[in-house]
Amino acid sequence: MRRLDLQPAPDARDLDEIPFKSLYVKEIYDAHTADGWVLQISRYRPVPQQWEQPIFGQPILLVPGWSQNRHAFTCGDFVKHLLAFGADIHILELRGHGRSSRELQIDRAAREGRAPPADIDWGWDLDSYFLHDVPAGIAAVKARTGRARIFYLGASMGGMLGYGYAGCHDDLAGLVAIGAPSDIGRGFLALRAVAMFGPALVGPLLDAAAAAASSLHRTRHGAARLLRTLRPLARAANLLAAPDSEYKPVRFNHVPVDAFLRALATAATESNLRRYEAVARYIGFLLNPARVTADDFRWLLSQGGEKESRLVVEQFARWIRHDEMKCYRTGYDYKAHYGDIRIPMAIFFGDLDRIASRHSTRGIYREARSEYLVWRPVSQNHHLELTMGQRDRAKAV
């Protein structure tokens, strides 16, 4: 039974004084996909408070964006604000990201005496997320909470996957998309140019570099094996390759986003962010440093990035080049089914964001048939800070 001596919900400043851990009980559970992956969901189950919590116990599935993990939502106060209102938070990490790591799949498969998923070696694409991960996550939350319908909140790519899911399923209570374009690349010429020429120019160069590195790697291991057959030169062989090491070809099968972001984190000092702030409106599209603290931003960079499959990047590029959003395995066209979305939907984007802008989000706003539909820019925000929870610094316009 809920308490009757309720107080008004705390504002952003009052919430700062409330310990985050006093708002929830945490648990981690599995979501099993149809193609053999074990994904993990981090649940923040709300604790009753002395103030009114109007959505107490309402399950909300949060799905991060491209190359992101759960920290996209937890690095700031985003989850804290939702918990203050009583939301039952479930954060799904897509395959290869965060707790749903490749290492987890290999370890589980070994312990259970089965083969790991067929695409474990970076063989997944956007269709894998759409066909397997998102449905598995939604099914797991419904089973965990006993609800027939749940709310879905997706950031960037997570929101795009939500558009696709909502167009062909009817088990969502509502959809919230944050910084999620419905026509990716629309109105952003620089991104279209990268999608047009990047795969054709960069991909072959990286493949050639990987082939050269593989050849050198193979030669080094071969020479080490030869030297080990000659006892006087056995120690020299260890300089070329460790005794227990094996030759593995070098392949360009993923993009090391995590390593790049960790390197960038070291440069994200308060003074450097202020310097960047002076020009961010003109040359930036990912972050407005005036909306975040240096500590939160460094945490996001160092902990929130993940390696991303090359196939995901290439499929995004194909979507942009052809101005489409399709599941190529089944032929399902996200855009053709925007008109089939009838659930309540809210679309938020930063007014400075070039990835998810008025141009690139207008399509779903016009096509969706939702009786309740919000399409709203948030003042002075780029692409990243909306999920960092700086409610007192952001204003809808």
Closest CA to 188 of 178, 200, 199, 179: 179
pLDDT higher at 374 or 300:
374
Task: Report strand pairing: 38-46 vs 345-350.
Answer: unpaired
Counting runs of H as helices and runs of E as strands, what totals does the chain give? 14, 13
pLDDT of residue 238: 65
Tell me: the pLDDT tens digits for 44-103? 999 999 999 999 999 999 999 999 999 989 888 899 999 999 999 999 999 999 999 999
Range from 34-38, 40-44, 71-75 carrying the lowest mean pLDDT: 71-75
pLDDT of residue 243: 67
pLDDT of residue 1: 33
CA 28 to chain centre: 18
pLDDT of residue 12: 55
Q: Percent of the chain scored above 70 by pLDDT?
A: 75
Task: Report strand pairing: 59-63 vs 150-155.
Answer: parallel
pLDDT of residue 387: 81
pLDDT of residue 241: 61
Range from 17-21, 28-32, 180-184, 235-239 carrying the lowest mean pLDDT: 235-239
Q: Which fold has domain 12-185+334-396?
A: Rossmann fold (3.40.50)
Distance (Å, whole) CA 344 – CA 174: 5
DSSP 48: P
pLDDT of residue 58: 97
Closest CA to 319 of 335, 343, 306: 335
Distance (Å, whole) CA 374 – CA 397: 12
User: Span 109-132, mean pLDDT?
Assistant: 97
CB atoms within 10 A of CB 200: 9
- Does the pLDDT value for residue 257 go beyond 90? no
Contact 310, 252 (CB under 8 A): yes
User: Span 209-223, mean pLDDT?
Assistant: 60
Tell me: the pLDDT tens digits for 272-324? 666 666 655 555 556 666 666 667 777 777 778 899 999 999 999 999 999 99
Closest CA to 90 of 157, 17, 30, 159: 30
Contact 90, 144 (CB under 8 A): yes
pLDDT higher at 17 or 359:
359
Is 357 in a helix, a strand, or coil?
coil
Distance (Å, whole) CA 182 – CA 92: 21
User: Span 111-139, mean pLDDT?
Assistant: 97
- Does the pLDDT value for residue 392 go beyond 50? no
User: Span 256-262, mean pLDDT?
Assistant: 82
pLDDT of residue 38: 98
User: Span 315-336, mean pLDDT?
Assistant: 97
pLDDT of residue 279: 55
Residue found under tokens 């997706």: 154
User: Span 364-378, mean pLDDT?
Assistant: 95
- Does the pLDDT value for residue 196 go beyond 90? no
Query: What is the rounded average pLDDT for all residues in the chain?
Result: 84
User: Span 31-35, mean pLDDT?
Assistant: 98
User: Span 313-339, mean pLDDT?
Assistant: 96
